[in-house]
Structure 1
């Protein structure tokens, strides 16, 4: 399994990246984490990061199975999950498959367990991103409110191109967009925190309230005023503070 460990704390947190990310895409967050209280494990999905070249179905269920396999390899009986975007769908699938092992869920602009609806024009933009760096840049710009520097956008595109296989990237889109298992998590009592960026037009507060808010009675929603879809880059100090404050309350 591809993973990176940060911290030696008793509270294990498995960290799951988004569609454009990898286990290395959390660098801005690392200096602000409490490494004595928490032990973070940053995972790569198949076809991403250290797992480039590893084939599979690239489904949400397969990714969740890989997370549980990594937890077993690491000897973790119980853990929390921190998932960004696509990783937010995967973390909910892990919970649905092994609820007794999950202490808490934290989603950063997470994809709901119902998937994400697209109109035809937006789907064409996203589907074309596998072969078009320009599409990738436009998506990242759009999901952060068309307000961030081009230098950062270009770095995000480079990271995506260098840390994901084309076929894995392409296959992951319908996986996170079209997989619907929300009936399996409705009414779940697990503690859930969701961080939504005010400048995220797709997975912002309104979407979270209509999905996570309807399914998880113990949801805590935080709206970050200075973030879009990538709070770990846009508001790293605030993100570390809010996440660890929430996780520190969980038994």
Structure 2
């Protein structure tokens, strides 16, 4: 493949998967980004996706959960630019008194795909905590 064609292909893939690319710290290959993008699109109903996105942008449950003593666990990837450990501790941690934040190294927003073995090992440990 010529350098120009390779550059155009990379640009096209980056545009289509730019959100995935940013949320993984721009560390994944084009093939990886395409595979996750394609998996996401194939398994998503448009109406369900729109409702899901609206729930993140139009619903504020913070007042209802603020001060709760229920244990809450968050698994974050250190490369996820949208959900830093500090940001989660400052926001979600202000709502849940007993918040545990587990930051996975070398991982972005999709730890179940980026580091599946580590993710699978982390979930039971968090669920077994009081």
> Which of 53, 57, 63 is equivalent to 1:183?
63
Q: 1:236 to 1:186 in 2, by over 3 A?
A: same
Deviation string, structure 1 residues 17-66 (Cα, Å, up to 9, x no partner): xxxxxxxxxxxxxxxxxxxxxxxxxxxxxxxxxxxxxxxxxxxxxxxxxx
Unmatched runs of 5 consecutive residues or more in structure 2: 1-12
TM-score (norm 1): 0.44
CA distance in 1, matches of 2:129, 2:85: 23
| Structure with a larger share of its residues in helix | 2
Aligned pair partner of 1:236 in 116, 120, 124: 116
Matched residues in 2 for 1:246 and 1:178: separation? 29
RMSD: 1.9
What is the deviation of 1:174? 2.3
> In the alignment, what sits opposite 1:225?
105
Aligned length: 118
Give how far 1:226 is off.
1.1
Identify the residue that residue 195 of structure 1 maps to in structure 2. Answer: 75
CA contact (8 A) 2:77 2:105 kept: yes
CA distance in 2 between counterparts of 1:225 and 1:159 reads 24
Structure 1 runs (4+) greater than 6 angstroms displaced: none
The alignment status of 1:174 with 2:54, answered yes or no, reads yes
Task: Please identify, of 216-225 and 241-250, the stretch whose mean Cα deviation from structure 2 is larger.
Answer: 241-250
**In the alignment, what sits opposite 1:139?**
19
- Gaps of at least 5 residues in structure 1 are 1-132
Match of 2:84 in 1: 204
Q: Which of 216, 222, 225 is the matching residue for 2:96? A: 216
